């Protein structure tokens, strides 16, 4: 079989390689060729391969609206893997047709992702800030930025980040927190038109966020910076926005200096983080090895696979 991913060299790629090795050891009669595809046109490649039926048997697939967008070449898994087992995976609703696993699961999540920030405790201390009391709202964040700048420290570094998503700035992590001024029920009003995307509350949030750049709280090459991860690790900035996929690398290279934070991009403190089964693996409809592909996906959903995911520095998707 062939498996495509767009993970580059990040922790997800390490987990994928280790999962394949463990699966092949358990089923020596099955071999999987791993192909790392470029991130910037990955889904275009998948679509083209689906038309010609020359693509992989297994493919990395994003969840949510992405799996619905590409559902025409994704095989529903309910007839291959017990639905009860699939329902033990966090976020399985968002890997399914109509967001309902009973209607057909399209993706087996690899991990649970949190969008979060990371900060350098030593740089906070150097600027006279208490690293054990991180800002919880806009006012506190801008105050911290002023203190960091006064100490000659760049508050935030932005750029392409650590995920292999392409060659440009990726604002989605931040935007997901900016929109926490609304509840999920209120988000629906944006789609119906009951609430305008130019609503003053949204404009105020975006204005505050963009002022991080205009007020000098970020690096000035946000849109083109290719080295934000290395710069944060090197102590060239106090904060960066990433997610759980970066925990292992930051802990390994920064040790006790690094800590995590909930992005304080709201007028009042928020009490939660964005948690999502952000990506996983799907079987293509045109695969000539569906039984073998299903066996790998069942292995990914098993208890046996979860420690392999965790050892790569990711958070397993399976409950418990």
Determine contact, residues 127/150, Cβ cutoff 8 Å.
yes
Determine contact, residues 111/279, Cβ cutoff 8 Å.
yes
Determine contact, residues 153/237, Cβ cutoff 8 Å.
yes
Is the predicted pLDDT of residue 74 greater than 80, yes or no?
yes
Report which DSSP code applies to 66: H
Q: Is the pTM of this model over 0.75?
A: yes
**Is the sign of the CA dihedral 221, 225, 229, 231 positive or negative?**
negative
What pLDDT, in 10s, does the model give residues 117-172?
Answer: 999 999 999 999 999 999 999 999 999 999 999 999 999 999 987 665 656 677 88
CB-based contacts of 221, cutoff 8 Å, min separation 6: 159
Task: Give the Cα separation of 156 and 275 in Å (integer).
Answer: 23
What pLDDT, in 10s, does the model give residues 202-211?
Answer: 999 999 999 9
Kindly compute the dihedral angle of the four CA atoms of residues 16, 18, 20, 25, in this order, to the nearest 10 degrees.
-170
What pLDDT, in 10s, does the model give residues 14-50?
Answer: 999 999 999 999 999 999 999 999 988 899 999 999 9
Quick one: which H or E segment has residue 316? none
Angle between helices 11-26 and 290-300 (to 10 degrees): 120
Cα–Cα separations (whole angstroms), residue 142 to 20, 26, 146: 46, 53, 6
Which domains occur in the chain, in start order? 2-112+277-311 (3.40.190.10), 114-274 (3.40.190.10)
CB-based contacts of 206, cutoff 8 Å, min separation 6: 178
Backbone angles phi, psi at 278, to 5 degrees: -70, -30
Q: Which ranges constitute the DSSP H helices of the chain?
A: 11-26, 42-52, 65-69, 83-86, 121-126, 138-150, 172-178, 184-192, 200-214, 228-233, 247-254, 290-300, 306-311
141 vs 270: which has the higher pLDDT = 141
Kindly compute the dihedral angle of the four CA atoms of residues 305, 310, 313, 317, in this order, to the nearest 10 degrees.
80
User: Residue 11 — pLDDT band, cuts 50, 70, 90?
Assistant: confident
Determine contact, residues 299/287, Cβ cutoff 8 Å.
no
């Amino acid at each position: 079989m062939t498996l495509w991913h767009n993970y580059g060299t990040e922790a997800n790629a390490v987990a994928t390689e280790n999962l394949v090795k463990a699966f092949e050891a358990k089923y020596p009669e099955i071999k999987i060729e791993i192909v790392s595809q470029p991130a910037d046109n990955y889904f275009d490649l998948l679509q083209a391969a689906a038309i010609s039926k020359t693509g992989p048997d297994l493919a990395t697939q994003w969840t949510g609206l992405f799996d619905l967008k590409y559902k025409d070449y994704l095989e529903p898994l309910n007839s291959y893997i017990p639905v009860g087992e699939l329902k033990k995976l966090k976020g399985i609703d968002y890997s399914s047709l109509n967001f309902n696993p009973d209607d057909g699961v399209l993706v087996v999540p690899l991990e649970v992702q949190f969008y979060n920030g990371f900060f350098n405790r030593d740089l906070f201390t150097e600027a006279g800030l208490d690293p054990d009391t991180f800002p919880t709202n806009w006012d506190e964040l801008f105050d911290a930025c002023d203190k960091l700048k006064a100490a000659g420290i760049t508050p935030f570094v932005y750029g392409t980040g650590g995920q292999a998503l392409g060659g440009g700035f990726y604002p989605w992590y931040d935007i997901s927190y900016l929109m926490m001024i609304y509840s999920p029920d209120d988000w629906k009003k944006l789609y119906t038109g009951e609430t305008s995307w130019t609503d003053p509350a949204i404009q105020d949030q975006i204005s505050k966020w963009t002022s991080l750049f205009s007020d000098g709280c970020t690096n000035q090459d946000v849109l083109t910076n290719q080295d934000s991860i290395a710069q944060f690790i090197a102590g060239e900035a106090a904060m960066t926005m990433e997610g759980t996929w970066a925990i292992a690398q930051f802990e390994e290279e920064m040790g006790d200096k690094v800590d995590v934070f909930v992005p304080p991009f709201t007028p009042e403190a928020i009490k939660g983080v964005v948690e999502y089964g952000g990506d996983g693996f799907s079987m293509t409809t045109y695969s000539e090895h569906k039984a073998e592909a299903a066996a790998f996906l069942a292995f990914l959903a098993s208890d046996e696979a979860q420690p392999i995911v965790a050892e790569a520095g990711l958070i397993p998707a399976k409950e418990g």
